[in-house]
Amino acid sequence: MSDSSDSLEFEGVVESLIKDKVFVVVNENYKVICTLSGKIRMSGIKILPFDKVKILVSPYDLSKGRIVYRLRD
């Protein structure tokens, strides 16, 4: 897969979850469709609506990303 050095990192808030897709709002107006990273799945971390998360987005397609960290409130 790609290295984290060639991807963009954002912080956002989870808006909704539909099956394995997570909709994250970045900067109050931009939506990104995300999936969970493998480490989050293996750790059993639950992502719920209104959680703050850190996502990685490819510079080639800014509408899709991967959740890599759940931030503490």
- We report the CATH number of the domain holding residue 17 as 2.40.50.140
Q: What is the pLDDT of residues 5-61, one digit of tens each?
A: 789 999 999 999 999 899 999 998 999 999 999 999 999 999 999 999 999 999 999
- Which has the higher per-residue pLDDT, 3 or 58? 58
pTM: 0.87
Domain range enclosing 11: 4-70
Q: Which residues contact 51 (CB under 8 A, 6 or more apart)?
A: 13, 14, 70, 71
Coil, strand or helix at 43: helix
Residue 28: both structure tokens together = 């109050």
Q: How many domains does one find in the chain?
A: 1
Pick the closest to residue 57 from 1, 10, 3 (CA basis): 10
Question: Parallel, antiparallel, or unpaired: how do β-strands 64-70 and 30-36 relate?
Answer: parallel
How many CB atoms neighbour CB 65 within 10 A?
24
